[in-house]
Chains A and B, each alone.
Chain A
Amino acid sequence: MLRFSRFKTISVVLLTLASFLYAMPSVLAPETRASIEKTLSFLPSWIVPHRAIVLGLDLQGGSHVLLEVDTQAVLRAQVNTLRDDVRRILREQRIALQGGISLLPRGVSVRITDPADREKALVEFRKIAAPIGNAMTGVSQPSMDITAQPDGLIQMTLTEAALNEKVRKSIDQAIEVLRRRVDALGTTEPNIQRQGPDRILVQVPGLQDPRRLKEILGTTAQLEFRLVADTGAAPGDVENLPSNEGGPLPIERRVIVQGEDLIDAQPAFDSRTGEPIVNFKFNIRGAQRFGQITTEAVGRPLAIVLDKKVISAPRILQPITGGQGQISGRFTVEQANNLAILLRAGALPAPLTIVEERTVGPGLGQDSIEAGKKASYIAALLVFAFMFACYGLFGFFANIALIIHVVMIFALMSLLGATLTLPGIAGIVLTIGTAVDSNVLIYERIREEARLGRSIVSSLEAGFQRAFATIVDSNVTMFIAAAILFMLGTGPVRGFAVTMVLGIITTVVTAVTMTRMMIAVWYRTARPTKIPF
C-alpha cells in the first residue's frame, strides 16, 4: 500500500488542483472574480474557470411558477376547427345535410343521405384528415378516424395521437410566447422549459413581486376586432360578451382583424385626456382588412375584444386606413404597459393555468445562505475537532481529505451546472458528517489488525484492503437512496439529492485514495514503530 505508481500520484494531485481551480469562481466575490478574469484574459478561455455554482431560487430569491395547458380547451378548439372545415367543404361541394353538424366529445358527425354526395364528401373529409407523424421515423398516423354507416351517418373523431401532437405544438408555441413576454419584463436569466406532456415551468430569479409575472403568464391575450351587432342581425351570428363598460354587449361572431396581424404595440398617453392607452400598428393584411371594414361601417361601434371580454367599443368616426390605431379602456399605467407587452408577444395558443407557485423573497434567500454557511462551518469545525481528538495525526489527514472533498463537490457542481439549494447545503453538511465514515472504517480496521499483533505495514495494508469492500457496499446503499431521490424529487429537494450523490462519489476518492497517500508519505518520512492512535 505504500507504493503508488507515479501516474496515480500525479493524477490525484492534478485532480485536487483542478478542483480548487473550478471551485474558485463560486467562492470569490463577483468583483474579485471579474478582475482576475481580466488579468488572465491572455489565456484561452477554457483554461480559466468562470462558471460559478448556480444558486437555487430558494437561495437567491425568485419565483417558480408551474403552468398547465388546458388540454380540454385545445380539444374544444380542435373540434371547432373541424366543424368549420366540414361546414366549408359541404358548402363548397353543395352537399345537403339531413339535420346539422352535431358535435361529439372528440369530433363531429353529419348525416348525408344521398349516396353520391356521401362519397364526394368522404373524399374531401379524408383530405383534411392529413396524416400527422414523425418525419424521422416515417411512421405516420391519420389525424382522424372517419367512419361511414350505410344509413348515411359519418363520424369523424380526432385520434389520440393527433390531439397529443396538437398539445405538444401548443406547448412549444406557448413557450415561445411566454419567453417573449417574460423577456419584456426585463428580468435576468429567466428559465422557461417544458415539464411533462402538458406543463411549462417558468423560473424567474430575483423578482420582488410575482403578481405582475403571474398576470403576464396567466393571460391568453387573444385580441380581436369585431363589430357590435346591429339590432337586426341573425341570432346565430351574435354572441353576448361581458364588457368593461357596464353590462354585456351583443357582438358579431365574425372577426375582422386578430392580434396576430399586429406588428407593434406601445403604451402611450392619450393627447386629449391624458389617459393611458396602447398604440398599435397592423401588418399589411391587417391594415387592408381594417381599412375596408371601417370604411364600410362608419358610424357603427367597433368592439375591441381581449380574451372574450370587450375592453372598449368606440364608434368608428371615419375610415382608419393607415393601419394604426389605439386602444383605450380606462387603463392604469401598469395595465397599459402589460397589455402592450402581451400584444407584442402574441397570444397563447391555449389558456394556461397556474398549478403551482413558489416564491421566495430576496431577504429570506439571503438569510438562508447565511444560515447554511454558518451551519457548514460549525459542522466542519466540530467534525475536525472530533477526528483530531480521536486519531491525532491520522485525524488530521482525514480532515485534509475532508476539505478536498467539499472543494470537489463545489467544483463538480460548477462544472455540471448543478443548482445549489438550501436542502443541497444540508446535503453537503451531512456528507461532512458521513465522509469521515470511510476514514473511521479504515482506521478502526488498522487498529484491530495492529492489536492482533501485525506489523505496522501489514496492519496499514490490511486496514485499507479489508475496509475497502465495506466502504463500497455501504456507499452503494446511500447512493441508491440518493439517486432515487434525484429521479423523483423536484426543485430544492433535488438539490439535496445532487449534493448527496456527488458527495458519495468524491468521498471514495478523497477518504480512500488521498488519505492513503498521505499515510504512505508519512510512513516513509517518519518511519514509525507503532500506530499513532
Chain B
Amino acid sequence: MKLLRIIPDDTKFPFMRFRRISYPFSAILSVISVVAFIMVSMNFGIDFTGGTLIEIQSKGGKFDISSVREQASDLALGEVEVQEFGDKGEVSLRFGLQQGGEKAQQQVVEKVKAAFEKDFEFRRIEVVGPRISGELVQSGTLGIVLAILAVLVYLWFRFEWQFAIGAVIATLHDLVLTIGFFAITQIEFNMTSIAAILTIVGFSLNDTVVVFDRIREMLRRYKKMPIDELLDIAINSTLSRTIYTSVTTALALLALVLFGGTVIQGFSYAMIFGVVVGIYSTVFIAAPVLIYLGVRVSGEAMAEEGSAKTAENTAR
C-alpha cells in the first residue's frame, strides 16, 4: 500500500534565512493587531461587559426579524443588539448593563419575556451583573499572565534561559496576533475565548518545545556546526511531525467548526487561527531568537571546558 507523505524526506528548507523577512512581517502584523485592538476594540461578550443575553427561537418558524428588532428597542432598555442566526429561526438579543446596580439587571429578562413569550421559545438567558463581569475580566487576565509566567519558569528549569525567552517571545507574538484576530473578525470575546487563548498558548508552546528539544539535542551532538545551519536542520527534521500534528488538530477543529453548533464556533475559529500562527511563530520567531541570544554560551557548554571557547566563537 502506498502511504501518504505530505512532507518529503530530506527537506532542506533554509528557514533561518527568512528571519529577515519574518521579523518585519510579524512586527507589522503585531502593530496592525494592536492598532485594531485600540481603534475598533474587541466584541466583548456579556461575561466581561455585564448585561443580558437572551436567545429565542420562533415557535411558528416564520417571523419578521425587523419587527423583533423594533419590539426589542421599544422596551426602552438602552442599546440592544438583535441578531438572527442558525437556520431554525433563532434570534439573539443582547442588552447592556442597566443603571441601578445588580437588582436592575433582572427586569430586562422580565420585560423581554413579556414581549416575546407568545411567539418565541426561550433557549438561553444569561444575566451578568456589574460585579461578576469585573471579576471575570480580572480572572481572565490573571489566567493568561499566570500561564505565561508558569510556562516561562518551567522552560527555564528545563532548558537554558535563551530558550525560555525565545518561547515566551513567540507566545506573546501569538497572543497579540490572536487578540488582533478577535478585534478584526469581531468574533465575540468571552470566557470561552480565554479558554481558546490559553489553549493556543499551550499548543504554541507544545510546538516550540518539540523543536527546541531537537535543537538542544543537536547542540550537544554537533558542537562546531554554525548555529543557523543547525537550527535549519533541527526544524527540517521535525517538520513532518509539526505538519502532521497540526493537520490532525486542524481536522478535529474543522469538525467542531462545521458540526459543533453555534455555541462554540467562535472558539473553534480562534483555535484554528492559533494553530496556524503557533507553527509559524515556532519556526520563524522562536528559533531565530536563539541566534540573537547566542544560545551556545550556556552553562552546560561552559562546563565542558574545551568546547566552551569554540562554542562562544561560533555564536558570535
Partner of A423, one of B192, B202, B248, B258: B192
Q: Are B203 and A434 in contact (CB under 8 A)?
A: yes
Q: Which 10 interchain pairs have the tightest Cβ spacing?
A: A433-B252, A371-B261, A481-B202, A379-B255, A433-B249, A375-B260, A477-B205, A382-B251, A379-B252, A364-B123
How many chain B residues sit at the interface, stated as a range, is: 35 or more
User: With the chains together, A371 CA to B129 CA distance in Å?
Assistant: 30
Partner of A357, one of B126, B241, B260: B126
Residues of A within 8 Å of B140, CB to CB, are 488
User: With the chains together, A212 CA to B140 CA distance in Å?
Assistant: 32
Q: With A376-B255, A426-B264, A434-B203 given, can you name 20 additional A-B contacts, CB distance below 8 Å? A: A66-B132, A354-B106, A356-B127, A357-B109, A383-B251, A386-B4, A423-B267, A426-B268, A430-B249, A433-B253, A436-B248, A440-B245, A469-B213, A473-B209, A474-B206, A477-B155, A477-B202, A489-B191, A489-B195, A496-B195
Q: Are B264 and A470 in contact (CB under 8 A)?
A: no
Q: Are A361 and B124 in contact (CB under 8 A)?
A: yes
Residues of B within 8 Å of A383, CB to CB, are 248, 251-252
- With both chains docked as a complex, state the minimum distance between the C-beta of A92 and any C-beta of chain B, in angstroms: 41
Interface residues of B (CB under 8 A from A): 1, 3-6, 9, 55, 57, 102-103, 105-106, 109-110, 113, 121-129, 131-132, 139-140, 142-143, 146-147, 150-151, 154-155, 158, 191-192, 194-195, 198-199, 201-203, 205-207, 209-210, 213-214, 217, 237-238, 240-241, 244-245, 247-256, 258-261, 263-264, 267-268, 271
User: With the chains together, A484 CA to B237 CA distance in Å?
Assistant: 32
Question: Which of A363, A441, A469, A470 counts the most B-chain CB atoms under 10 A from its CB?
Answer: A470
- With both chains docked as a complex, state the minimum distance between the C-beta of A164 and any C-beta of chain B, in angstroms: 19
Main secondary structure of the interface of B (DSSP, over half): helix
Q: Are B248 and A433 in contact (CB under 8 A)?
A: yes
User: With the chains together, A354 CA to B126 CA distance in Å?
Assistant: 12
| With A211-B113, A364-B55, A481-B199: A488-B209 Cβ-Cβ less than 8 Å | no
Q: Are A474 and B209 in contact (CB under 8 A)?
A: yes
How many chain A residues sit at the interface, stated as a range, is: 35 or more
- With both chains docked as a complex, state the minimum distance between the C-beta of B208 and any C-beta of chain A, in angstroms: 8
Residues of A within 8 Å of B158, CB to CB, are 473
Q: Are B102 and A477 in contact (CB under 8 A)?
A: no
**Which residue on B lies nearest to A444, using beta carbons?**
B241
- With both chains docked as a complex, state the minimum distance between the C-beta of B266 and any C-beta of chain A, in angstroms: 11
Q: Are B113 and A481 in contact (CB under 8 A)?
A: no
User: With the chains together, A469 CA to B212 CA distance in Å?
Assistant: 12
Residues of A within 8 Å of B250, CB to CB, are 433
- With both chains docked as a complex, state the minimum distance between the C-beta of B101 and any C-beta of chain A, in angstroms: 8
Q: Are B129 and A440 in contact (CB under 8 A)?
A: no
**Which residue on A lies nearest to B257, using beta carbons?**
A375
Residues of A within 8 Å of B205, CB to CB, are 474, 477-478, 481
Residues of A within 8 Å of B122, CB to CB, are 359, 361
- With both chains docked as a complex, state the minimum distance between the C-beta of A177 and any C-beta of chain B, in angstroms: 20
User: With the chains together, A482 CA to B260 CA distance in Å?
Assistant: 21
Q: Are B57 and A363 in contact (CB under 8 A)?
A: yes
Q: Are B210 and A358 in contact (CB under 8 A)?
A: no
| 10 residue pairs from A and B, CB less than 8 Å apart | A218-B106, A355-B131, A422-B261, A425-B260, A429-B260, A440-B245, A441-B245, A482-B199, A485-B195, A487-B143
Q: Are A426 and B267 in contact (CB under 8 A)?
A: yes
- With both chains docked as a complex, state the minimum distance between the C-beta of A358 and any C-beta of chain B, in angstroms: 5
Interface 0/1 of A52-84, CB less than 8 Å to B: 000000100000001010000000000000000
User: With the chains together, A367 CA to B57 CA distance in Å?
Assistant: 13
User: With the chains together, A451 CA to B9 CA distance in Å?
Assistant: 9
User: With the chains together, A124 CA to B217 CA distance in Å?
Assistant: 78
Residues of A within 8 Å of B57, CB to CB, are 363
Q: Does A303 contact B (CB under 8 A)?
A: no
Q: Are B241 and A441 in contact (CB under 8 A)?
A: yes
- With both chains docked as a complex, state the minimum distance between the C-beta of A459 and any C-beta of chain B, in angstroms: 14
- With both chains docked as a complex, state the minimum distance between the C-beta of A477 and any C-beta of chain B, in angstroms: 4
Partner of A210, one of B125, B195, B217: B125
Q: Does A493 contact B (CB under 8 A)?
A: yes
Q: Does A253 contact B (CB under 8 A)?
A: no
- With both chains docked as a complex, state the minimum distance between the C-beta of A34 and any C-beta of chain B, in angstroms: 30
Q: Does A315 contact B (CB under 8 A)?
A: no
Residues of B within 8 Å of A48, CB to CB, are none
Task: Select the stretch in A108-116, A146-154, A389-397, A407-415 that faces chain B.
Answer: A389-397
User: With the chains together, A8 CA to B123 CA distance in Å?
Assistant: 50
**Which residue on B lies nearest to A361, using beta carbons?**
B123
Q: Does A4 contact B (CB under 8 A)?
A: no
**Which residue on B lies nearest to A481, using beta carbons?**
B202
User: With the chains together, A352 CA to B36 CA distance in Å?
Assistant: 41
Q: Are B261 and A368 in contact (CB under 8 A)?
A: yes
Residues of A within 8 Å of B109, CB to CB, are 211, 357
